[in-house]
Amino acid sequence: MGSKLGFHIQRRRQGWPNVIADTVPALVKSLDWRIIDEWVPEEQVDPLKRQRALKWSEFNVFLLGRHVVPFQELDDPPRRAHEFWRKVLDDLTGGDRSRDREVLARMRLFDAWEGYNEVGTGPDIAKLGRFDAVLARLFHQEGMRYAGGGFSMTKPTLEEWPRYCTALLEEVSSGRGELPDFLHFHEYWFPGENWPQLLQPDGSIDAERMRAATRGYMLHWRELYQLPETPPELKRPVIISECGWDRGWPEQVGFRRSPCSDEEYFKWLVWYDQELQQPLDGLDYVVGAAIYTYGHESRWASFEIDQWQGRGIMDLLRAYLRESNREPHRWDWRQVWEQPALPILEESHYVLLSQDCPLAWRHALDRYLDTFKATNGQSLEDALRLRAKRQHITLVGSAESEYGVPREWEEEIRRRNPKAIIDRMEAKSVEELRRLANRRALYGDRYGQLDGS
């Protein structure tokens, strides 16, 4: 699999076509729609430009467009979606709506378009869902794919996300909207004083520690998709439309003003790339991740990745991407659209054992499992993956025991699915576990309401 890293182009920087031809990234996001003038091989007269554009096409470089609008209102989501659509056409035609056909034809050459950017959280999250559904329909009517969301870093929260999904699906069910083709997220983090503690003795990143340190910031989309409340039909292919280092508060500051070197930033991006390449539930969801930014406006100078004023990571990135992207991007994320929707059960029951428990602990549950026919295993992810209106999880063993399900797992379940109903078979030995499990089976006490009586 090739790299998932790509470029966010705010303003086209001199030499950008050679960089894209050299690196053939998974994703290019552009705020300048005129990028398309050099993107289509058949339109190029200059042999060098044609050769470059052919390479972009042959390597399946995904082109994402965004048109910046001055206002992003959500007071009346369907009306605002239509206003956004008209504003895009007004701006791109220069106000000459007789050019609609010409402009729409150019827009179709992009692989997808975004809508609003970094709005609609908190009380407005449901309004954003309705807006995205209606705008998806407007783009689809003109033969274009649409990426909904545009969530800022750490957003939406685990509490907000189900409300976004519900509102979007309600708009689809009403006939006023359609599902977005993609969902896009912004994932940023910023290194702190604990940076050295996230490294191995040889200076490489400790992947497990870094995942823990960046939780809620990086790979946040995975947390959302793993929530039991997430409707399967809304697990759309994922675009990370902005990523990198951003301090966020009290002001937005990029990697050039971080306590770490350019080389450390590059090393961190490679770690993130490797994480993005990992499948979720056997599927490759990620189209690509656009590093913010290649080509900047003055306000965002501290984010510029190009070699500039003695700093930058572009040379390192070019070497890395050139080596990683030797074959065309496979676009395996398209398989996500083909997944059948799974029914939501009324009730589920998963019996979760510790990963390191011996086989004897599993056999201590034989009578219990034969009685209640519960799904069982040693995978936390499998336990959380079951979708049901009432989700029961039985934890095996003591949280303090060598072979019991650790307390950290129980806390993770409660964090990711606060509605899960959890009980625990408190046992510190295989004999104690067998007695407790058999007693539950004898009295038909599936969830241990009689334990200790």
pLDDT value, residue 417? 81
| Confidence bin at 385 (pLDDT 50/70/90) | confident
| Confidence bin at 359 (pLDDT 50/70/90) | very high
pLDDT digits (tens, 9 = 90+) for 269-291: 999 999 999 999 999 999 999 99
| Confidence bin at 388 (pLDDT 50/70/90) | confident
| Domain annotation covers residue 352 | yes
In terms of domains, do 75 and 219 share one? Answer: yes
| Confidence bin at 400 (pLDDT 50/70/90) | confident
Last residue of a domain, one of 338, 371, 398: 338
pLDDT value, residue 347? 87
| Of 231, 243, 341, 342, residue with least CA distance to 286 | 243
pLDDT digits (tens, 9 = 90+) for 42-83: 999 999 999 999 999 999 999 999 999 999 999 999 999 999
In terms of domains, do 231 and 372 share one? Answer: no
In terms of domains, do 276 and 349 share one? Answer: no
pLDDT value, residue 452? 81
pLDDT value, residue 416? 78
Last residue of a domain, one of 323, 338, 353: 338
pLDDT digits (tens, 9 = 90+) for 153-194: 999 999 999 999 999 999 998 899 999 999 999 999 999 999
In terms of domains, do 350 and 331 share one? Answer: no
pLDDT value, residue 63? 98
In the predicted model, is pLDDT for residue 342 greater than 70? no
| Domain annotation covers residue 195 | yes
Please give the average per-residue pLDDT across 297-316, as a whole number. 96
Q: What's the CATH number where 214 sits?
A: 3.20.20.80
| Of 339, 371, 340, 357, residue with least CA distance to 438 | 371
Range of the domain at 366: 345-442
Q: How high is the mean pLDDT of the chain?
A: 94
Instruction: Tell me the pTM.
Output: 0.82
